[in-house]
Structure 1
Amino acid sequence: MNPADTLEWSGLKLDGNTAVLGIIGDPVAQVKAPLPLTQLLQRRGINAVLVPLHVPAAGVAPLLQALLAVRNVAGIVVTVPHKQRVAGLPIDTLRAAREAQAVNVVRRAGDGWQGDLLDGAGFLAGLVRNGFDVKGRSVGLAGAGGAGNAIAFALAAAGAASIDVRDADASKRADLVDRLRALGYTAGEWDAASPRDLLVNATPAGMREGDALPIAPEAIRAGHTVAEVIMEPHTTPLLALAQQRGARTVHGRHMMDEQLERMADFFAEALR
């Protein structure tokens, strides 16, 4: 192959003018966003690529600080388990990120970073696309981490009648419940065995073979809806059980698909 100023393959573009976005997590091998978000940006005429970066917790703050010196790094997608950690850094945050105290996207803004949280909006849009109207429904939410916070506030704002939460970390669960109540929403503790109209797994449980179910089987009823944030495997043991019991299921991929357009919009401002 002869050298060229621009290398293109499968319709993608990579050259000296390419802006770089990273996606940070620990682990990161399971992420699905790099190729579809890169394709979406380039279809919009934006010369950018998204690459995975495996970063342990202790490396998050120094990495973001160091990347400010790399002028063609335009932003970062943040995944498990770093969303709340990034929200605690000295960066500018938009409303959804402030309410949920979690960040899943940051973009270059002047001499620093600006962060937002798109998980909740993406999750809610995925439910709507699958025919579920959250208004007036009871919600059982497993997980009070970054994704759980985002989903809780999005569902509450969309009119959920109640949002009950469980988490292995009692202080995280109590903090989320308290912040929901402070904004006037109905929220409480959930034992994960009680039925709800909508059951949500916002934990990593189900990513690895042998993980315990994040929601007890007796909570899953025919006609109810069980939704995942996990994208790999596509059908987690929780969703497989829900299907067997006659519940409607919403896969984690729906949340990501709905987020991609929102991510592209968010980063476009830093990439123009």
Structure 2
Amino acid sequence: MLLDGETILFPIIGDPIAQVRSPKFLTEILHGRGVNAIVPPVHVQRDAVPDAIAAFRTMHNVGGIVVTIPHKIASLDFCDVVSERAAFVGSVNVIHKDAEGRLIGDNVDGIGYLDGIKALGFDVADKRALLIGAGGAGSAVAYEILDRGAAHLTIADLDDARLNRIVGALDAQFPGRVTAGDNDPTGMDLVANVTPCGMREGDPFPADPAKMTANTFVADAITRPEVSPMVEAARALGCHTMTGAGMFNAEAERLVDFLLGRGLPADPAKDRAA
């Protein structure tokens, strides 16, 4: 690994940060493309996000930022430009800093999540889906599930205000195909967890595997443990599953593209620099 005074930094921020796989794998992708850059993990608590992003703006060798749980919603407000997709879901998970110093944000979580599921043989079109989590990643995944033709999506979240906001926005875009509900997976073709639930020992299941069948496809966004308790229980039922690694692997190349300034929004929905 090349590491010298010309190395570009693309920090990843989160709270916690110990569970992320991004530093190693995104750095390997960058080096594979011949780019002298690294993705260092940076543990930033919720109330320190504004100061952290302001500091990154001033650092000439920071070329962008990867954003993980729980900072995706908050980070959107510090971007100068965001894609239409990011503006719709209200969050960003990747930020490119351009030559003018502007921060340009997008959210490719939904693309990565659904690409990962598709690579494992599950097509969400015309299916019934349950999504647990309406946060930054959850909103992006919800949009992508509906955009790819799901018959109906139920979203569960402990934050009623957040849940109602995203369901209202999605219903305007995809009328009659999305509702707020609970985490009961009965009758669902896809059960998708996009919350940190399952990362800590003793966490409850995001959705009860006892109410699933072998025909349920179960996906989880967390990467530590590598196989979440819900995925492990679903596999015991004979379910096909995707771990957080499947999501990450599917979107890693897209993240690197964006960090390097490729695929930036051509007609941004929001440009605070104007």
TM-score with structure 2 setting the length: 0.92
In the alignment, the residues of structure 2 paired with residue 236 and residue 23 of structure 1 have an alpha-carbon distance, to the nearest angstrom, of: 22
Which of 178, 189, 194 is the aligned partner of 1:187? 178
- Given that 2:157 and 2:182 are in contact with CA atoms closer than 8 Å, whether structure 1 keeps it comes out as no
The one-letter amino acid paired with 1:188 is: T
User: What's the counterpart of residue 142 of structure 1?
Assistant: 132
Residue 219 in structure 1 maps to residue 208 in structure 2: no
> What SS does the corresponding residue of 1:107 show, helix, strand or coil?
strand
Map 1:35-184 to 2 at 5 A.
Answer: 35-109=24-98, 110-184=100-174
Shift of 1:121: 0.5
Which of 244, 254, 263 is the aligned partner of 1:252? 244
In the alignment, the residues of structure 2 paired with residue 187 and residue 84 of structure 1 have an alpha-carbon distance, to the nearest angstrom, of: 21
Which of 216, 220, 223 is the aligned partner of 1:228? 220
User: What's the counterpart of residue 235 of structure 2?
Assistant: 243
The one-letter amino acid paired with 1:98 is: A
Higher mean Cα deviation, 176-185 or 116-125? 176-185
> What SS does the corresponding residue of 1:269 show, helix, strand or coil?
coil
Report 1 or 2 for greater relative contact order, CA contacts < 8 Å, sequence distance ≥ 6.
2
- Given that 1:96 and 1:117 are in contact with CA atoms closer than 8 Å, whether structure 2 keeps it comes out as yes
Of structures 1 and 2, the larger Rg is shown by 1
In the alignment, the residues of structure 1 paired with residue 226 and residue 5 of structure 2 have an alpha-carbon distance, to the nearest angstrom, of: 36
Shift of 1:62: 1.4
Higher share in strand: 1
- Given that 1:195 and 1:218 are in contact with CA atoms closer than 8 Å, whether structure 2 keeps it comes out as no
- Superposed structure 1 runs of 4+ greater than 4 Å apart: none
In the alignment, the residues of structure 2 paired with residue 88 and residue 182 of structure 1 have an alpha-carbon distance, to the nearest angstrom, of: 23
What per-residue deviation string (whole Å, max 9, x for no partner) do you get for residues 72-107 of structure 1?
Answer: 100110001000011133531112211111110111
What per-residue deviation string (whole Å, max 9, x for no partner) do you get for residues 128-183 of structure 1?
Answer: 10000111011101111111101000111111111101101111111111111010
The one-letter amino acid paired with 1:22 is: P
What per-residue deviation string (whole Å, max 9, x for no partner) do you get for residues 174-202 of structure 1?
Answer: 11111110102410022212331000011
Aligned CA-pair RMSD? 1.2
The one-letter amino acid paired with 1:191 is: D
In the alignment, the residues of structure 1 paired with residue 45 and residue 140 of structure 2 have an alpha-carbon distance, to the nearest angstrom, of: 22
User: What's the counterpart of residue 23 of structure 2?
Assistant: 34
In the alignment, the residues of structure 2 paired with residue 169 and residue 224 of structure 1 have an alpha-carbon distance, to the nearest angstrom, of: 26
Higher mean Cα deviation, 85-94 or 196-205? 85-94
Structure 1: runs of 5+ lacking an equivalent = 1-11
In the alignment, the residues of structure 2 paired with residue 80 and residue 227 of structure 1 have an alpha-carbon distance, to the nearest angstrom, of: 17
Percent of residue pairs identical:
37
In the alignment, the residues of structure 2 paired with residue 91 and residue 242 of structure 1 have an alpha-carbon distance, to the nearest angstrom, of: 42
> What SS does the corresponding residue of 1:73 show, helix, strand or coil?
coil
The one-letter amino acid paired with 2:205 is: L
In the alignment, the residues of structure 2 paired with residue 224 and residue 212 of structure 1 have an alpha-carbon distance, to the nearest angstrom, of: 19
In the alignment, the residues of structure 2 paired with residue 90 and residue 244 of structure 1 have an alpha-carbon distance, to the nearest angstrom, of: 44
- Given that 1:192 and 1:219 are in contact with CA atoms closer than 8 Å, whether structure 2 keeps it comes out as no
In the alignment, the residues of structure 2 paired with residue 41 and residue 34 of structure 1 have an alpha-carbon distance, to the nearest angstrom, of: 11
TM-score with structure 1 setting the length: 0.92
Structure 2: runs of 5+ lacking an equivalent = 263-274
- Given that 1:196 and 1:219 are in contact with CA atoms closer than 8 Å, whether structure 2 keeps it comes out as no
- Given that 1:166 and 1:173 are in contact with CA atoms closer than 8 Å, whether structure 2 keeps it comes out as yes
- Given that 2:79 and 2:105 are in contact with CA atoms closer than 8 Å, whether structure 1 keeps it comes out as no
